[in-house]
Amino acid sequence: MAFRTPLKVVGSGSSISLQKCTAAEITQVVDTMIRKYGQSPSATLSVGTGNLGNITDTRLQAGTGTTDANNFDTTGELEDVSTVTVTLNKIVGAFYGTSAPTITRGSAISNATNTAYSFPLYNDATGSVRQFDLDDMLDTFWHPAAERLTAASVSQVNSAGTYTITTSTTPPSNHTLISTTPVFIDTRADASAYTGAGIPETKDQPTTITNYYLHRVDASNTSTTMPAIAGNKKGEAGSVYVIPQDKLASQLQAIARYGAINESGYRIQYAFSSSTTGYQTRATAVDTKLNSSAYITNEVYVDDYRAQEVPAGSAATVTTYNFAIRRT
């Protein structure tokens, strides 16, 4: 298990040679792995009955309105405003064992979807030419890919196949909306809905402030030209071939799908919580509620004095929830 420098085929005809890929060329291979992972991610999120844990939306509601034949009940006699709490858990994470490609750890031959070519070749410590095994593929290509995929910042070249949240059903550029069902809804009491004339007002009269929606970063439509990576054909271990770009891309996609759910330390996981230590925050959702109350009254008749405590004041943040990603 180690980082390996893949060999590339240089020249043509009878004047070919094997040379080590440059760091820039290895980055081109990692770029392709990220793009191919974005086309078919394995650490997926959806919207439904969630498993990432509960988060809550809170808002104030009015106390019970009262009627008195002699005078208005005082604030001390009235029921205070109280907090309504709505529990939400909408994001479904499929982290392990979901459609993992069939690859045997340590196998030198690529994978079940591409058995024609080996993994790339490299020079060992003695200078002998050997094939990458699965661990080498993971260490050399998936580990740097996973580090880029799980960064806090989001870009198409670095984040394809990973997720974020926004406050709109219109996806950002190069993103796909996962569902029109919000993954979090911030509501507050509608202070304007409570009037003296309406006493006894309905206690809970919410208004939606902000909806939050799940999006996935799209894979780029532009292919990266990789170096002419050298490999063997199955059954022809002594002969060197250039692994076709589409075959190498297929290998990289299978490795990425495997690594994202199986490679310890480089699995992709998400959290949507107020406490996300160890994660990189991609976006935040804020629970707010009004921070005060008002005393309202209405004299309907000479012997009908109505009073009620209702939500009022300005918006205050109760909890900030982080939508976050990490390697684990």
Per-residue pLDDT tens, the chain, 328 aa: give them: 689 999 999 987 778 899 999 999 999 999 999 999 999 999 999 999 999 999 999 999 999 999 999 999 999 999 999 999 999 999 999 764 445 555 555 454 444 455 578 889 999 999 999 999 889 999 999 999 999 999 999 999 999 999 999 999 999 999 999 999 999 999 999 999 999 999 999 999 999 999 999 999 999 998 889 999 999 887 776 788 899 999 999 889 989 998 998 898 999 999 999 999 999 999 999 999 999 999 999 999 889 999 999 999 999 999 999 999 999 9
Instruction: Tell me if the bond preceding 200 is cis, omega within 30° of 0.
Output: yes
Q: 115: closest CA among 30, 4, 232? A: 232
The CA-based angle 173-161-321, given to 5 degrees, is: 80
Other beta carbons within 10 Å of 292: 12
Domain that holds residue 104: 7-327
Task: Please indicate, yes or no, if residue 2 is contained in any of the structural domains.
Answer: no
**How far is it, in rounded angstroms, from Cα 154 to Cα 218?**
11
CA distances from 133 to 35, 136, 174, 239 (A): 22, 5, 34, 18
The pTM (predicted TM-score) of the whole model is 0.92
Judged by phi (left if over 0) then psi (alpha if -120 to 50, else beta), residue 106 lies in: left
Q: 171: closest CA among 111, 114, 213, 112? A: 213
Task: Please indicate, yes or no, if residue 1 is contained in any of the structural domains.
Answer: no
Number of domains forming the structure of the chain = 1
